[in-house]
Amino acid sequence: MERWQQVARAAGLVGADGVVRPTVFAEMSALAVATGAINLGQGFPDTDGPAHVREAAVDALRSGRNQYPPGGGEPLLRAAIATHQARYYGTDLDPATQVLVTTGATEAIAASLLALVGPGEEVLTLEPFYDAYAGVLAMTGARHVTVPLLPQEGRFALDVERLRSAVGPATRMILLNTPHNPTGTVLTDDELAAVAALAVERDLLVVTDEVYEHLVFDGVRHVPVATLPGMAGRTLTVSSAGKSLSLTGWKVGWVTGPAALVSAVRTVQQYLTYASGAPFQPAVAAALADDDGRTELWLRDLAASLAQRRDLLVGGLRSAGFDVVVPQGTYFVVADGAPLGFDEGVELCRRLPELAGVVAVPVSAFCRAGSTADRALRSRVRFTFVKRAELLAEAADRLGRLAG
């Protein structure tokens, strides 16, 4: 089998007939376009990021910041990322050696995995997992092992004993994601402490995807696992401007950590994109340095407004008859179609446009076929609430048709 076929298979894109299909995200988005349904499948905002940050990019474009930025990122942006980590988490980073700018969190994750794991090694992730993880892991040749996140007392919880028993002699890395897409769970202090203890005990690397770090609700706090005892020297922390600043199309991301690991990632990144987003880098630098506090206010408003929009959608889903696990972070909510008589999330998602004029994606798209998580979460579907309140109100209204 060629590598691309392994990638397609790992990402669940190969049917029983051996034919490679488009992703479920593409299928559902096409369905939304074809039926005029409200697309709550794909997670991107329908309003723009902060005006002052967009204006800073316009200034950069006009003042000739249009050639290759320095490899590794604009020094000002690297310094601003270090400032951001210090302000929110008390982390002390050397911008020159411990910060790398990437083409979105996606490249940060891909370069980290390509740099640090390979055939014969195992990488542990939570399941369900962000779909890119399986694809990139297949490119590295490492084996992807998963630990299920399952509903328990009103949230998706990590079974720490299961995590422990999933670590074997070949385990090299835990690829973590909190706040978590698709479940919206934010790992608790106890869960993070268990991950950290295990990583230290078994000498594992941790790559942690924290792109939703600022999108947390109800007073829940996001804690980077890198700040736990014994973790700073073995953890690469990944984030990006996309989710925090509602600028998903800019693809400005970053990875921070110990100099030796960041240097390893940088070596690989040089031969992936080398550098990107020249005029966006100074704009994101200004946003993260946040000299006037405008970004902090903007982030606070975004989280507050997302919490309200979450409640709006959750209310609609519950009235329609769904069982809902209320998310503490991200901009996604997972709902169970079983009480409505749908045991297969995929089936429900295919019919939802015709039944209610709304599009969602099945949680099975984030699972490996036949796994524990896949079987337990078969009837669940993911909706996004990062859309304007009017649109969510309309979606909630339409979903009410299901109750009838």
Ligand X SMILES: *Cc1c(COP(=O)(O)O)cnc(C)c1O
241 vs 396, beta carbon nearer ligand X: 241
356 vs 361, beta carbon nearer ligand X: 361
Angle formed at CA 402 by CA 398 and CA 403, multiple of 5 degrees: 110
Q: Which two tokens stand for residue 31?
A: 């369905």
Tell me how far, at minimum, the Cβ of 203 lies from ligand X, in Å.
Answer: 26
Is 181 a binding residue for ligand X by CB under 6 A? The answer is yes
Is 130 a binding residue for ligand X by CB under 6 A? The answer is yes
Instruction: State the Cα–Cα distance between residues 333 and 225, nearest whole angstrom.
Output: 23
Q: Looking only at residues 356 through 375 of this chain, which bind ligand X when binding is defined by CB under 6 A?
A: none
Instruction: State the Cα–Cα distance between residues 135 and 263, nearest whole angstrom.
Output: 23
**What does DSSP assign to residue 308?**
H
Instruction: State the Cα–Cα distance between residues 402 and 56, nearest whole angstrom.
Output: 46
* Contact flags string 93-112 toward ligand X, x per CB under 6 A: -----------xxx------
Tell me how far, at minimum, the Cβ of 107 lies from ligand X, in Å.
Answer: 7
95 vs 242, beta carbon nearer ligand X: 242
Tell me how far, at minimum, the Cβ of 378 lies from ligand X, in Å.
Answer: 22
Report whether 93 contacts 255 (CB < 8 A).
no
Tell me how far, at minimum, the Cβ of 291 lies from ligand X, in Å.
Answer: 24
**What does DSSP assign to residue 216?**
B
Query: How many residues at the interface with ligand X, by CB under 6 A?
Result: 14
Residue 297 CB coordination number (10 Å):
12
157 vs 238, beta carbon nearer ligand X: 238
Q: Looking only at residues 284 through 343 of this chain, which bind ligand X when binding is defined by CB under 6 A?
A: none
Q: Looking only at residues 46 through 75 of this chain, which bind ligand X when binding is defined by CB under 6 A?
A: none
Q: Among 91, 98, 112, 177, which residue interacts with ligand X (rule: CB under 6 A)?
A: 177
Tell me how far, at minimum, the Cβ of 245 lies from ligand X, in Å.
Answer: 11
Q: Which residue sits closest to ligand X, CB atoms considered?
A: 104
Q: Which amino acid, residue 253?
A: G
Instruction: State the Cα–Cα distance between residues 28 and 35, nearest whole angstrom.
Output: 10
Is 171 a binding residue for ligand X by CB under 6 A? The answer is no
Q: What are phi and psi of 185, to 5 degrees?
A: -80, 150
Look at the chain and count its residues: 404
72 vs 357, beta carbon nearer ligand X: 72
Q: Looking only at residues 199 through 218 of this chain, which bind ligand X when binding is defined by CB under 6 A?
A: 209, 211
135 vs 253, beta carbon nearer ligand X: 253
DSSP codes of every residue in 5-50: HHHHHHTT-B-TTSPBPPPHHHHHHHHHHHHT-EE-SS---SS---
143 vs 251, beta carbon nearer ligand X: 251
Tell me how far, at minimum, the Cβ of 248 lies from ligand X, in Å.
Answer: 5
Q: Is the dihedral of CA 375, 380, 381, 383 positive or negative?
A: negative
282 vs 353, beta carbon nearer ligand X: 282
Report whether 198 contacts 171 (CB < 8 A).
no
Instruction: State the Cα–Cα distance between residues 78 and 83, nearest whole angstrom.
Output: 9
Q: Looking only at residues 234 through 263 of this chain, which bind ligand X when binding is defined by CB under 6 A?
A: 240, 242-243, 248, 251, 253
* Burial class of residue 90, CB neighbours in 10 A (0-12, 13-18, 19+): exposed
74 vs 209, beta carbon nearer ligand X: 209
Tell me how far, at minimum, the Cβ of 103 lies from ligand X, in Å.
Answer: 7
CA atoms within 13 A on the CB side of 221: 7
Residues that bind ligand X (CB under 6 A): 104-106, 130, 177, 181, 209, 211, 240, 242-243, 248, 251, 253
